[in-house]
Structure 1
């Protein structure tokens, strides 16, 4: 089984942490003032700093990040010492595939930093309030619907259920007994929804019912439905805090799109016309040396 770089690094951490003794409380050394440039180890003349450790720790899986700092420090330091020594053992003889990965990761990290600065500057309280006002300040209250349904496989089954309910059967009890949908055990209850949240065929019928009405059989991609509309309401605009994350994501996406367009407009991008099979992208042999 081939071990990935991520699992290899995690394995180093696991081995290093397992070898770290538990220190007695009274054995803790006196702390001193440090910076990101504080050297914590030197391997073959190459310095490893506290800054290297911080970013390495931040990239660890969550289960490792929860370890005590006294244990995690030694584990991360041992990982960096080992990987630095192993990297030096190559003597600069790196495979083409590895060098290409380094190139991609470097450009990816730098691109992420460039975008991160723009995003951080753009997502302000003023920008969030402006986006909130643009969406909700003049928006008409949206109608929301509370409904239940019974889902079966055939139109014949749905029609029989419709007649059973018309004859006085309790909708929720029939749903518990016969509905094949996940809401069946809950009496078919779908909770509240608004336009665009259900498949069109279901939504079109549900939104024409009056509270208390039960529909004729309705076919969707999931099967045949009998729908009961329980009630409707007008939904007021949500508070800013409730949609803060959604609005921030919208702003971020807009900033990223604009930033990419701007930088591409400022550089020369050439894509030579080369006649070859696009399937070459799957050929690892091309980067095997």
Structure 2
């Protein structure tokens, strides 16, 4: 390699590490940018040797990036446990709230990793000792297999008949009320322990004092820190007597005294957001999900007919099911 080639490689590699990796960018993106930089440095005046070196160094960078993506966090003999395997396992298990192993606090990473290592240890020991499942666990395995095969059947059918935007739009227009955003109201309140305190606060409000100032001084719940602000609410989110007052007021009005058992309240409606139907483009993912659910229900109906399903409940359960 000539001196100019070496200098070019050194410069590009240093730039790759300092500019991209130290800034914490995604390694694949950093690799792509590093390779582009190498080819930019391989100008026509330097000729083919530098370009050949650029190709070679890019191959190395890609290999490093690919290796780094398979981050090994534990080994069991020759078996590796990688971050990617853990993320895939959590995804397949449908663990609620899980995003990625890297986003977990260190103590949760350790706990999850220890659990996965234990699972693999017991599995390896079971294979080594040729453990046979007892009848109960055979049933469990059969149950899981039936579920997975059923899911695969549904997925195959849905994928085989791709849905167009036109079909989704028709479904949306026919079920628009299902996607309607209900009326919402942004509210604030004063809540005190006694009716006498509430009457005094109500008199102060009528005299022109600010509800937020009074709530910041008087409230006996956590909204005292927010000067009485509760935020946006919809119907069926509040105690019945409280909701009745909230949805009977106009914007800017405050109520009389409401006794909820948790205190004596005076509520004000700060803003009203009327019910509205969002445009199709905004709710397209939800429309597609609902449409797929409808397709699965239709699929099930057809299979019930094909395989002639009958359901016979025990007499006690049938009587329970028949109750209004």
Q: TM-score range by the shorter chain?
A: 0.5 to 0.7
Q: Which has the larger radius of gyration?
A: 2
User: Residues 179-215 of structure 1, C-alpha deviation per residue, up to 9 Å, x if partnerless?
Assistant: 2444432222234445555444333222322333221
Could you tell me how far apart the structure 1 residues matched to 2:306 and 2:164 are? 27
Gaps of 5+ in 1: 1-24, 32-53, 67-77, 276-289
Task: Establish whether residue 258 from structure 1 lines up as the match of residue 288 from structure 2.
Answer: no
The answer for the alignment partner of 2:7 in structure 1 is none
Could you tell me how far apart the structure 1 residues matched to 2:103 and 2:149 are? 25
**Structure 1's 60 and 232: CA in aligned 2 closer, same or farther, altered over 3 A?**
closer
User: Residues 201-236 of structure 1, C-alpha deviation per residue, up to 9 Å, x if partnerless?
Assistant: 333222322333221112447543211123435455
Could you tell me how far apart the structure 2 residues matched to 1:181 and 1:80 are? 46
Name which of 126, 149, 152 aligns with 1:110.
149
The answer for the alignment partner of 2:101 in structure 1 is 63
The answer for the alignment partner of 1:133 in structure 2 is 173
Could you tell me how far apart the structure 2 residues matched to 1:267 and 1:204 are? 51
Task: Establish whether residue 168 from structure 1 lines up as the match of residue 208 from structure 2.
Answer: yes
The answer for the alignment partner of 2:69 in structure 1 is none
TM-score, with length taken from structure 2 = 0.50
Q: CA deviation at 1:173?
A: 1.4
The answer for the alignment partner of 1:94 in structure 2 is 133
Secondary structure of 2:208's counterpart equals coil
More helix by share: 2
TM-score, with length taken from structure 1 = 0.55
Could you tell me how far apart the structure 2 residues matched to 1:273 and 1:131 are? 35
Instruction: Determine if contact 1:195/1:203 at 8 Å carries over to the other structure.
Output: yes
Task: Establish whether residue 204 from structure 1 lines up as the match of residue 258 from structure 2.
Answer: no
Larger RCO, structure (CA 8 Å, separation 6 or more): 1
Q: CA deviation at 1:80?
A: 12
**Structure 1's 253 and 202: CA in aligned 2 closer, same or farther, altered over 3 A?**
farther
User: Alpha carbon RMSD of aligned pairs, Å?
Assistant: 4.5
Could you tell me how far apart the structure 2 residues matched to 1:135 and 1:88 are? 53
**Structure 1's 65 and 274: CA in aligned 2 closer, same or farther, altered over 3 A?**
same
**Structure 1's 105 and 231: CA in aligned 2 closer, same or farther, altered over 3 A?**
closer
**Structure 1's 182 and 240: CA in aligned 2 closer, same or farther, altered over 3 A?**
farther
